[in-house]
Structure 1
């Protein structure tokens, strides 16, 4: 082949390299497809124990359901700025870090965390989320933190009745939908506030008692010193008696 032919082949190969979407490679355990012009990354039922690191940056739909993921670490999806739907249902998630959804909060529309092992979730993890949340079928511990999440989050109305109390401060709430408990007038945050107030009262009482004991000890100590000083003065020869003795002698 002539040098001209080789140059043409090299040039074609170079242009081919420019067209390859380097940032859009698909994780080996997932399947990447186009859905209405948007990239969908499907990683369902792949026996994953953690979130893949090499998810394409242009992913719009990400399905990680039916795996064995136990934790959502900080910045797990930070590079996925186009992400709109995230499905993490039917895993074994127990821990969600405070910055778990940092970087995707603004554009995320749907977040499915149902059917996991989540007992509590930090409010900070959901602060900037506008996504519709599915939190059903988790072993929730009904307390003030979960109540605050429900107050501030956008919950999926179709699944909100399935957010039930697996454990709670009082046995009568166990097994009941959290929304039903709150609608009955229960306020877990006021219980925590009362507990805090009692703890503060006990602490203040302890400090006050220490001050009183210190004052009593101080007064008693000064009284003892005063008594000793008086006894010492009484033991000294009287000045008046000494003066009479002197005048008699004269």
Structure 2
């Protein structure tokens, strides 16, 4: 205890040292379930507001109890797998959000809805994202870092990308690991150049058109089959009636011979 107090006395940043000490205590008590703001470092920004750093805490969820004065939130190097709807409630002043080096594989629609009007920078690099739902980025106009994700370039990606102002310093590293256009050399191609040069929604429209044509063909085939059956059935019935009438005529005793 005396050594700890001596270290605090000679440390140039006693506040940060004390914060780190509480990190260790919180992690020891809660393990992977750490979600309290008390485990994060925070300090005042130069222009006002708070900057909160919760990096490397093995978090599986976004911390609760964040101040609505937070303008910067760093959640890198954690174990986040999914962002549910309204993950950042009440953070209406948030300008910078770092979610890099997590295990994110899905982003639910509305996960950024609370920060849509204020967010200016979003780091999603080094995650497990394969596609972007356009509904996730509704209302967002941010500079985004999407590098080092196993992207599957499809129609939804093409619709989502225009809503983002991609970080041009890393835009060539946002690569298509798989694609709906594998035969055109799209695999390994930069995403932004791909959506500019090719219509990724064309294959979807072509598939939809083909399904529509096939469906119409089968309906037409069924209609023709029914008509043929109806005509043949009526011919058989008519022939039976005709034969019956001939039979009656042949049995008519008043028929002149």
- What TM-score do you get using the length of structure 1 for normalisation? 0.82
Written as runs of structure 1 = structure 2, the 5 A alignment for 1:121-136 is 121-136=132-147
2-structure distance, mates of 1:239, 1:95 = 85
Is it true that 1:91 corresponds to 2:74 in the alignment?
A: no
User: 1:11 matched to which residue of 2?
Assistant: none
Written as runs of structure 1 = structure 2, the 5 A alignment for 1:151-170 is 151-169=162-180, 170=182
1-structure distance, mates of 2:50, 2:255 = 116
- Which of 181, 188, 192 is equivalent to 1:179? 192
User: 1:208 matched to which residue of 2?
Assistant: 220
Q: Any idea what the Cα deviations from partners look like across 1:77-122, whole Å, max 9, x if unmatched?
A: 1211111111111111001001111111011111111111100121
- Which of 159, 166, 188 is equivalent to 2:200? 188
2-structure distance, mates of 1:128, 1:237 = 85
2-structure distance, mates of 1:212, 1:225 = 20
Deviation (angstroms), 1:204: 1.0
Larger radius of gyration between Structure 1 and Structure 2: 1
- For structure 1, the 5+ residue unaligned runs are 1-25, 246-250
- Which of 42, 60, 65 is equivalent to 2:76? 65
Is it true that 1:31 corresponds to 2:41 in the alignment?
A: yes
- Whether the 8 Å CA contact 2:140–2:163 is kept in 1: the answer is no
Alignment size in residue pairs:
219
4+ residue stretches of structure 1 with deviation over 4 A? 238-241
2-structure distance, mates of 1:101, 1:154 = 16
1-structure distance, mates of 2:49, 2:65 = 18
- For structure 2, the 5+ residue unaligned runs are 1-35
SS in structure 2 opposite 1:167?
Answer: strand
Q: 1:243 to 1:231 in 2, by over 3 A?
A: closer
Task: Let me know the Cα RMSD of the aligned residues.
Answer: 1.8
2-structure distance, mates of 1:88, 1:27 = 16
2-structure distance, mates of 1:62, 1:177 = 28
- Whether the 8 Å CA contact 2:60–2:78 is kept in 1: the answer is yes
